[in-house]
Amino acid sequence: LSENVKVLEPVVEKEGYLLKAKIADGGKKLRKNWSTSWIVLTSRKMEFYKESKQPALANLKPGYKPECVDLCGAHIEWTPEKSSRKNVFQITTVSGNEFLLQSDIDFLILDWFHAIKNAIDRLPKE
Ligand code: I3P
């Protein structure tokens, strides 16, 4: 059974730590609050974990759900004007959620930007 379950899980394309700030929820602006997040990218969504660098472990905690971002129809763009930090880009979902992601490490943030952009470009727009 455990093997069957594993096959149904989407393939993880990329995972790692970035700084994250959610700045809008359903179109409603939120107060910016940066925090470190463990991010898991699959072909059509991103998951933000705050409690563990091992999502499998976090999943075992009853009631724990990572924040989930549907990439279908989402937009991604560099947004230097939205922060005093360097290397900031924004993901905007169809549902009006806005997330800023940041890392001081240039190659790391570039890798993430291109991985997410590629995932979005492969998906249907709605
Ligand atoms: C915010 C906090 C953020 C900062 C933001 C401030 O203050 O300092 O780190 O964003 O700037 O408003 P507070 O903690 O009092 O909410 P950056 O680090 O991205 O610059 P902003 O208002 O210009 O977005």
For 53-111, how does the pLDDT look when each residue is reduced to its tens digit (9 = 90+)?
Answer: 566 666 667 777 889 999 999 999 999 999 999 999 999 999 999 999 999 999 999 99
Give the pLDDT band (50/70/90) at residue 3: low
ipTM of the complex: 0.90
For residue 32, how far is its CA from the centre of ligand 1 (angstroms)?
6
Kind of pairing, strands 67-70 and 98-102?
unpaired
Supply the pLDDT for residue 58: 64
Atom 11 of ligand 1, residue of closest alpha carbon: 83
Which amino acids bring their CB within 6 angstroms of ligand 1?
31-32, 34, 83-85
Q: Alpha helices, DSSP H only, in the chain?
A: 2-8, 55-60, 106-122
Tell me the two tokens of residue 24: 């809008």
Say whether 114 sits in a helix, a strand or coil.
Answer: helix
**Closest ligand 1 atom number to CA of residue 23:** 24
**Closest ligand 1 atom number to CA of residue 100:** 19
Give the pLDDT band (50/70/90) at residue 30: very high
- d(CA 28, CA 12) in angstroms, rounded, equals 30
* Mean pLDDT taken over the chain: 90
36, 44, 60, 47: which is closest to 94 by C-alpha?
44
Tell me the two tokens of residue 27: 């179109």
- What percentage of the chain exceeds 90 in pLDDT? 75
- Contact at 8 Å (CB) between 75 and 91? yes
Dmax (CA) for the chain in angstroms is 50
Supply the pLDDT for residue 65: 81
- Give Cα 87 distance to the centre of its chain: 15
